[in-house]
Every structure is written in C-alpha cells, then in structure tokens.
Chain A
Amino acid sequence: MSSLSKLDGAAPALERTDMPRPPTDTPRWRVSERALPYLVLLPAILVLIGLIIPFLIGLYWSLTDYKLTSSVDKQFIGLANYQALFTSAGFWNTVRVTVTYVLLVLAIELPLGLGVALMLNRQNRIVKLFRAVLILPLMMPPVVGALMWKSMMTPEGILNYLLGQVGIAPSQWLGSLGGALPSILLIDIWLYTPFSALVLLAGLQALPKEPFEAAMVDGASPWVSFRTLTLPMLLPFLIIVGTFRGIDSLKIFDLIYATTQGGPVDATNTLAIQAYFEAIRWTNFGTAMTYSIILWALCYALAFYFIRRWRRAMNQ
C-alpha cells in the first residue's frame, strides 16, 4: 500500500490547476473498490472471530469429558454428553422449566403490552408523561429489578402486608416450590412489559389512518376494526416483540441468579442457570457446554422461526 501512496504523492505537479479539490491532510490511499469494504470491516471481523473461536472451542468441549479440576486430560467422547442429558430427569426438568417460562412470558407480556400500548395511544399530556415512566424498568439492570422485588417479597414484606389488607393469606413468594416461578415471572412482567408496550405503541402510531376511517364509515364496530385491521397490520411489531422477549426469556439468567439461583430444589432451574452451575460450581465444563449448546440451538431455532415469520409479514 505504501507504493500506492507514493504514486499519490507524485501528483503535486498537477495540483496547480484550478481543479476543485477538497483540502486533505491525510494521504489518500487508493484501495480498490472491491477490497475496501472488507478492509474497513476488518477490525469488526476480528472481534467477531474473537467471539466465534471460543464458541467453537466450547462446541468441542461438549464432545469431551472435560472437568477443570480433573488431573487427567480431557477425552473425546462423541455425543455421550448429549446422550446422558437426554436420558436424565434433571435435564428434562430444566427444559420443562425453561419452556414453561418462555410460553408464560409470551402469553402474558404480548397481550398486556398491547393493552398498555392501546391505552397510551392518545394525545394527552398525562399519557405522554407516563410513556416516559415506562422506560424506567427497561433502563435498570435486571439484577436491580430482581432485588427490588425480592425486598418486597419477604415474609413480613410490603407485598404480604398489602395482600393482608385485602384479606388474602400471605404468600411464600420466591421461597415456595409452587410460588417461585410465578414470582420470577411477575418480576419479568414488571421489567419487560414496558418493552412490548413501547414497541407496539410505535407500531400503533405508524398505522395508516384511511382504512380505519373507511371501516367507520362502513359501520364496523371498534372490535371488528381492531381484529381485522389493527392486529394484522401490527403483526410485524408483534413478531419483533416475540423475538426479543421469546429469546431473552429462553436464555434467562440474571433474574433467576439474583433471586432463587434455580431453587427451591430445582423449581426455577433453567438451562442457562444449570449450565452456569455445572461450569462454575462443579467444574464440569463438558456437561456445562452441552447445556449451553442445546440452549444455543433452541435460541437459534426460535430466531430463525421469528425472522422468517417477520419477513413474510413484511412482504404482505
């Protein structure tokens, strides 16, 4: 490339003409048009390679009996880790907990977010102010949201007190087998319903006005125009919310680590939590990576499905 800049430097003789040339203080590298994009992308691609290499190493570990604290070197054992997991009740429990969680998150946060979006889709000063309030849970660390609720979910805490005021028996919240997952779900709803509400609100505000006016002239009820106009036109936005919330709840870690760490027993033990403890607590890096790779495959499949749905929705 230095020779190119030399060629460039040989040009001053021509510079005396009145050609309008913008002043430059940097040498002008003449890179071929075709190589330029790759050259500019090189640093970003290096970062990408830096992320892909550990992933590939981890993928290999999932095919070994790697245990960090073992004195024997790791052995390649093929798919034995996967086989062991597919026949273990503990693994299927993590799958059941994780999938239940994802389905509940989607089933609650999508409709609730849509409801809040419809509620905020008005031109009104109070309503506008509360749109800004919605971002507060979204901007804080999930760990903070979890700790806030944890402080309210203690046996003598404010939530049980308020329940008592309306005559409901106190709950164990995060401490009980049956209550832990719904409690975490409640925190999740608090943290992330604003996300679906804000995205769907942006969707509502982008809707064209004419179809709705036409429907009103035709005497369609609000419910009919909501079902036949609003919902179909909102589909791309619903899919985006589904993608983000679906995948983020599939790989949920922070919220559970800060509250129950998978307990009581294994009532809230998701794939990510189990992968973490396999690695960090028990140094079973082979098994930990097997859990991680399975989780990764599920995330990938879900992303693939949602992106295809999204493209189809955008083409309509």
Chain B
Amino acid sequence: MTRGRTWTLGNVAYWICFVAFFTFTLFPLVWVGLMAFKTPVDVLAVPPKFFFTPTLDNFRQVLSQGNFLNYYRNTFIIAAGAVSLTLVVGTPAAYVLARHDFRFKEDLAFTFLSFRFAPELVVIIPLFVIFQRLNLYDNYLGLILIYQAITLPLLIWLMRGYFEDIPKDIEQAAKVDGAGWWEIFSRIAIPLVLPGIAAAAVLAFIFSWNALVFGLVLGGRETYPVTIALLGYMGYQSVDWGPMAAATLITIVPEFILAFFVLRSLVRGLTFGAVHGG
C-alpha cells in the first residue's frame, strides 16, 4: 500500500461514494436545522433559501406557546422513571442470569428478549382498557410500568453480557473469604460493570425518549410525551414548519450529547449485546 493520495480510478470512485452517502445522511439534518432559524416567509420561499437572516422566533414560540415544555417534562419523567425502575429490577436479574445455573434460565432470558421483537400493540391495546379500570391511564406510573417493555429487555440482555465479561476468579475469591451473595454483587460485580451500566441506562433512556405508540395509546393530555407534541405541529390544513423544526432540535440535541458519551458501547447496545466492538 502506498501512503498518501493517489488519484486512481478506485480512489476517486471511493470518495464519490463517500461524499454521496454522507451528503444523504447529513443534508436533512442541516436543512431542518436551518429551517428552525427561518421566518415563516423564508420557510415557504420558492426557490428554497440557503441564505437568510436567522431568527429565534421559532424557539421563542415553541417555548412560550402551547404545551411543548409540559410534554418535554412528561417525557423526561417517564423516561427517567422507567430507566430507574429497570435498573433496580433488571440489574440483579441480569447478574443472576449471567452467573447462576438454574432451570428454565434460557427460557426466561428469551422471554424477556421476546418483548423486544413483539409488536407493541399486542400488549398496548388490551392495556388501553385495563389501565382505564386500574386508574393507570394517562398516568405517569402506568407509562413508567409499560415502558419496562422497552427498557427491561435491553438492560437485562446488555448487562448479562457485561457481567459475563468479568473474570469469575474475583467473585470466587470473595466467596471463599465468606462474602455473601449481596456483598459480592454490590461491592465487587457492580463496580466492575459501572461503565456498562451507564451505557445501558443511557441507551434505555434514549429509546424511551424516542418511543411513540405507548404514549399515543396509553397517555393523555396530562402525560403525552414529546413525540406526540411534535406530531401536533402538523395541522389538517397547514404545518408550522418553523416551530416544528425548532421543537425537533430541542428534542434531539440532548440525545446526541448523551449518545456521544457512550459511543463505544452503542453497537453493543443497539444489538442487545449480540455484537461487541464497533
């Protein structure tokens, strides 16, 4: 291999493909990012404007009018609640699935996983009726409970892999020294997988943040998540593109920042632990 840039045919073709694909990937983000700073006139201008005088009116409108901030807070409460509950319920479960042998272990592990691949409506449609009877409809607790369908399979499968990655000797040595199960779990295993827990929690939070259908069916005016607020910018006759773009940015920028911190674990997380590295 020669170092440096030789303009062979293959090399030129490579960079053409490269530029084409990343233009395709980045253009919508840039375009909608620009739209967020446009006046209504500039948004609808024909031909479309790439250069214009930026305005913060859209952001002002999103943050002051309507219930966008309420929806934003709802999403935060539901996602944070769901992740917290999943951490408490799922981390010990993942540890046991990684370290102990018992009957029905794999069946149980796959039953958790199956909810990742089942269509959400299969559970949500019945819950639409059940939650109304239990007073869990349009209720944070109800949504936090059903968001376990998103967060728990992810956490259990991801953390099971991280626990399996630690060498068994440390725990064995502690056991010989007379440490109990809880001590080994909380003082030895947990500190060793902390980065994994952080990655799993961040991903579970992002997936919860992105969810739509749970809130759509089981939420109401008090609890609708931000994804539904975004859909609200599309009226029957017209669409408020500018505010929609601004709201979109406010919704996704925190996610990008969070994701950046767990970049190394993303592929592993996205595949529920099946693929390492990346």
Contacts and interface: CB of A to CB of B under 8 A. Distances in A.
A in complex with B: yes
Interface of A: 19-22, 24, 26, 28-29, 31, 34, 36-38, 40-41, 43-45, 47-48, 50-51, 54-55, 57-58, 61, 68, 115-116, 119, 130, 132-145, 147-152, 156-158, 161, 190, 194-195, 198-199, 201-203, 205-206, 237, 240, 243-244, 247, 250-251, 253-254, 257-258, 271-272, 275-276, 279-280, 285, 288-289, 292-293, 295-296, 299-300, 303
Contacts of B211: 141
B206 interface: yes
Given A47-B152, A138-B266, A280-B128, 18 more contacts: A22-B174, A40-B181, A43-B92, A51-B148, A119-B17, A135-B263, A141-B209, A143-B212, A143-B227, A148-B28, A156-B44, A194-B25, A198-B267, A199-B271, A202-B275, A253-B213, A296-B122, A299-B118
Given A205-B278, A295-B122, A36 B181 contact: yes
B148 A143 contact: no
A199 B255 contact: no
A37 B109 CA distance: 13
Contacts of A296: 118-119, 122
Interface of B: 14, 17-18, 21-22, 24-26, 28-29, 31-32, 35, 44, 46-48, 88-90, 92-93, 95-97, 100, 102, 105, 108, 111-112, 114-115, 117-123, 125-130, 145, 148-149, 152, 156, 174, 177-183, 206, 209-213, 216-217, 227, 230-231, 233-234, 239, 241, 244-245, 248, 251-252, 255-256, 259-260, 263, 266-267, 270-271, 274-278
A24 B181 CA distance: 12
B119 A38 contact: no
Contacts of A28: 180, 182
A304 to B, nearest CB: 10
A122 B89 CA distance: 41
Nearest to A157: B48
B102 A254 contact: no
A44 B97 CA distance: 11
A141 B206 CA distance: 9
A205 B125 contact: no
Given A147-B230, A202-B275, A54 B266 contact: no
Given A141-B212, A254-B213, A44 B90 contact: yes
A82 to B, nearest CB: 15
Nearest to B268: A202
Given A44-B90, A51-B123, A140 B255 contact: yes
Nearest to B111: A48
B22 to A, nearest CB: 6
Nearest to B253: A140
A21 B95 CA distance: 24
Interface SS of chain B: helix
Nearest to A254: B212
Contacts of A195: 270
A286 B173 CA distance: 57
A142 B210 contact: yes
A28 to B, nearest CB: 5
B227 A141 contact: yes
Contact of B156 (A44, A54, A253, A303): A44
A133 B259 contact: no
Contact of A116 (B21, B108, B115, B152): B21
Nearest to A248: B117
B122 A55 contact: yes
A149 to B, nearest CB: 6
Given A45-B108, A257-B212, A136 B125 contact: no
Contacts of A51: 115, 123, 148-149
A27 to B, nearest CB: 10
Contacts of B245: 151
B252 A139 contact: yes
Nearest to A46: B89
A198 B210 contact: no
B271 A244 contact: yes
A247 B117 contact: yes
A15 B88 CA distance: 33
Contacts of A134: 25
A104 B26 CA distance: 23
A288 B119 CA distance: 13
Contacts of A201: 278
Contact of B31 (A116, A119, A152, A288): A152
A195 B48 CA distance: 31
Contact of A135 (B17, B174, B259): B259
Contacts of A253: 119-121, 212-213
